[in-house]
Amino acid sequence: MAEHERMPLTRRLSGLLKRPGFWLTVVLLALITVLHYRDTAGYPQWLNSVLDNIKLDRHSFERILYLAPMVWAGFLFGQRGVVATSVVALACMLPRAIAISDHPTDAILESIAVFSIGMVVALSFKSLREEHNRRTQLEMAEKRLQLQLQVIKENERKLGALNRMSAILSESLQLDDVLNRAVRNVVDVTKVDVAMIALVDEEAGELVVSAHHGASQEFVLAVGRVKVRRGFQNHVAESGEMKLVEDAFQHYDVARQAVKQEGIRSQLVVPMKAKGRVAGTLYVATRSVRRFLKDDVELLTAIANQIGVATDNARLYEMERLATQRLAVSERNYRGLFENAYDAIWVHDLEGNYIVANRASEKVTGYSMAELLTMNVRGFLSEEGLGRAREVKSKLMDGEPLEQPYELRMGRRDGSEAILMVTTSMVAEDGKPVGFHNIARDVTEEIRLKENLRRYLSQVTKAQEEERKRIARELHDDTIQALVVLSRQLEDAASSGRSMPEEKRALLESLRQQTTGIMDGVRRLTQDLRPSTLDRLGLLAGLEWLASDVSRYSGIDVKVKVGGASRRLPPDVELTLFRIAQESLRNVWRHSEATEAEVSVDFQGSKVVMIIKDNGKGFAVPSSVGDLTRDGKLGLTGMQERAGLLGGNVTFHSEPGKGTSVVVEIAA
């Protein structure tokens, strides 16, 4: 159903009433009807003569005149207009034909004839309109077919050009060869005079002409290398959008002059894209004015993208070739480093069988490389070493963290033992473990030197403590006793000499007080050298005495706290912990400017943890023990050495303004 047929009746009537043709039809019908019902027509004489000649009376003529508004309505409103006007005309004619006409039968027949002619006209208009519509549709279909044929031919041309370009680009992976072939094909396909391919040099920030055809050498030199953001080729490279202008280098004076000298009139630049980025630009130009159509732009864009992908592939090929060369060089270098490395390097499979080993492995094991390749690492390890190796293998296979390097002891060919510091990593192929790579340094001599040094330090420390103990005993038994006797003698002399002058008595009293002060100082020195409380009552009593003593002479509030089930420790452990606490509190008194300090001892199963902390000014803790010695913190170094002799560990935690904590852990 037509759209106007679906409109509401009121809207159709409203639209009809607004059309001038409708009112003209009504006026014609009204005028003809008025003439038809008048008694006298008042026609011109010539028209009356014509009607007499053709034997036609005026009423018959007036009925024929009704065909005029019918035809007019047909032109304006189509079939429905003719039908409606014919019905109205019949309604206007029939009253006169029936009631007024002298020959009613003839009048009725004439009226019906006029109405019938109106119907025929209506059908004729419908057929003519349908025929016109069919012809219009045929013409439109023919035009669409021609356009489709043109599109097919153009697509065939584009497809042929792209296939040809694809074939050219796939013939070689050498970048220069690819670009030169491509630029020549662009000239042939697009029928331009000049074509150039420029690639983006990201490091230099420049657009560099890498291939050209049809251009003079002077022109290429003028535009061959331009900084990005200068010239419209660079705008294309930066924005990724094609550009068509009359002067391609209007912002670059040298290039603009070169364009004029080259005689170029029309130019087009399209970006060459690969993997979402602009790899360069494709520039085409003609020496005569040419309008580049949309199809030309689309074809050049497709070709440019093909060249961009081919350029990217050629670059990747070149990078892979260079990488392969570098890899070969690296392999040779690695082989040299591997074979001549100072550290022993070997690879064994999951079962422990040697796969490859270097010369240093021969020195460590005493076997040649040929012999090692027939052996298994298990043959070099003790039960303890095998357990350590299984632990390392398990952690690496499960992806667990492993502290490396780790110590491993291996037997040599001559029966001696080698101590190695080993770093192990897993070797995988296609994501599956196939073996282990090991780098080992022989630290046998270093370990033995350290053990000897540790024994030496232990002996020195023991001798030092024994000397301290001897000196403390002698001071207590001899010096202090002599000072006590001297003090009493001075007191007796001062009290018994009644005839002694007052000045002499005051001098003796002063000497007695000085003697008492010296005696107290010697007692404190004796306690520092070897507190008797530590030997008699143990660590906790010694720490209580130490805290009380430090509080008395420094004014710092020192407290002692105990955690866990307290017990007596081995004498060397108690002495070490006491000396560390003594040195820590001495540092608190001398350097920290603290007002409070705390010594806490926590008995934890097979080990004891002691923490000495204060609220002083703190300091920046060095990253290594060696830095403590270099910075002059010999007391802290001594703490670590004392704990290390017993297999313990001392750590320092401090920040400027946040106090200091000394944490000691020793197995006991």
Q: What is the residue-wise DSSP string for 483-513?
A: HHHHHHHHHHHHHH-TTS-HHHHHHHHHHHH
Residue 403 burial (10 A CB sphere; 0-12, 13-18, 19+): exposed
The owner of tokens 């340094």 is 441
What confidence category does residue 380 fall into, taking pLDDT thresholds of 50, 70 and 90? Answer: confident
Q: Name the CATH topology of 341-442.
A: Beta-Lactamase (3.30.450)
pLDDT of residue 610: 93
Report the pLDDT value the prediction gives residue 490, as an integer from 0 to 100: 73
Who's near 107: CB < 8 A, 6+ residues apart? Answer: 59, 63, 93, 96, 97, 98, 101
Residues of the chain with CATH 3.30.450.40: 171-320
- Chain segment 287-296, per-residue pLDDT in tens: 888 777 777 7
Q: Is the pLDDT of residue 237 over 60?
A: no
The average pLDDT across 447-469 equals 62
244: helix, strand or coil: strand
The CATH number of domain 534-667 is 3.30.565.10: yes
**CATH 3.30.565.10 domain locations along the chain:** 534-667
Delimit the CATH 3.30.450.20 region(s) of the chain.
341-442
Q: Among 284, 202, 289, which Cα is nearest to 237's?
A: 202
- The residue ranking higher by pLDDT, 658 or 4, is 658
pLDDT number for residue 663: 92
Q: Measured between alpha carbons, how far is residue 264 from residues 42, 195, 198, 284, 346 in Å?
A: 82, 12, 18, 10, 69
CB 660 within 8 A of CB 618: yes
Q: Tokens 């949309």 belong to which residue?
A: 294
User: What's the CA gap between 136 and 130, in Å, rounded?
Assistant: 10
Task: Report pLDDT for 322.
Answer: 75
Tally of CB atoms within 10 A around 489: 13
State residue 126's pLDDT score: 67
Q: Please give the pLDDT value at position 559.
A: 92
Q: Is 90 exceeded by the pLDDT of residue 599? A: yes
Highest mean pLDDT among 197-211, 264-278, 585-599: 585-599
For residue 232, the model assigns a pLDDT of: 41
Per-residue confidence (pLDDT) for residue 502, from 0 to 100: 75
d(CA 25, CA 75): 11
Q: Scanning the structure block, which residue is given the tokens 């802290």?
A: 636
Instruction: Identify which of 192, 264, 191, 181 has the alpha carbon closest to the alpha carbon of residue 222.
Output: 264
What pLDDT, in 10s, does the model give residues 24-66?
878 888 887 877 777 666 677 776 677 667 777 777 777 787 7
| pLDDT at residue 65, as a whole number | 78
CA angle 551, 552, 553 (to 5 degrees): 100
Taking only the tens place, the pLDDT of each residue in 485-500 is 777 777 777 676 666 7
Place 513 in a pLDDT band, splitting at 50, 70 and 90. Answer: confident
Supply the pLDDT for residue 228: 55
- Per mean pLDDT, which of 199-203, 441-445, 454-458 is the most reliable? 441-445
Is the pLDDT at 385 greater than 50? The verdict is yes
**How far from 667 is each of 535, 543, 573, 630, 662, CA to CA, in Å?**
20, 19, 9, 29, 17
> What does the pLDDT read at residue 230?
46
Three-state DSSP class for residue 661:
strand
Q: Helix or strand or coil: residue 153? A: helix
CB 195 within 8 A of CB 214: yes
Categorize the per-residue pLDDT at 601 as very low, low, confident or very high, splitting at 50, 70 and 90.
very high
Angstrom distance (rounded) from CA 21 to CA 77 = 9
pLDDT at 371 over 60: yes
Give the range among 62-66, 179-183, 286-290, 621-625 with minimum mean pLDDT: 621-625
453 alpha carbon, distance to own chain's centre: 52
Average model confidence (pLDDT) for the chain? 77
pLDDT above 50 for 419: yes
- What pLDDT score was predicted for residue 477? 63
Q: Is 538 left (phi over 0), alpha (psi -120 to 50) or beta?
A: left
- Asked if 668 and 575 touch (Cβ cutoff 8 Å), the reply is no
- List the beta strands (DSSP E) in 129-205: 194-201
128 burial via Cβ count (<10 Å: 0-12, 13-18, 19+): exposed
Task: Name which residue leads in pLDDT, 226 or 551.
Answer: 551
pLDDT over 90 at 598, yes or no: yes
What percent of the chain lies above the pLDDT cut of 90? Answer: 4
Smallest CA-to-CA distance from 178 within 186, 168, 163 is with 168
- Taking CA atoms, 645 is separated from 72, 540, 573, 581, 639, in Å, by 127, 21, 10, 16, 10
If one compares 513 and 276, the residue with the highest pLDDT of the two is 513
| pLDDT the model gives residue 561 | 93
Tens of pLDDT, residues 2-30: 444 445 667 766 766 777 777 887 888 88
- pLDDT of residue 578 exceeding 90, the answer is no
Q: Which residues pair with 602 in a beta bridge?
A: 563, 609
Domain 171-320, CATH class in plain words: alpha beta
Q: Which residues, in sequence order, are bridge partners of residue 438?
A: 346, 424
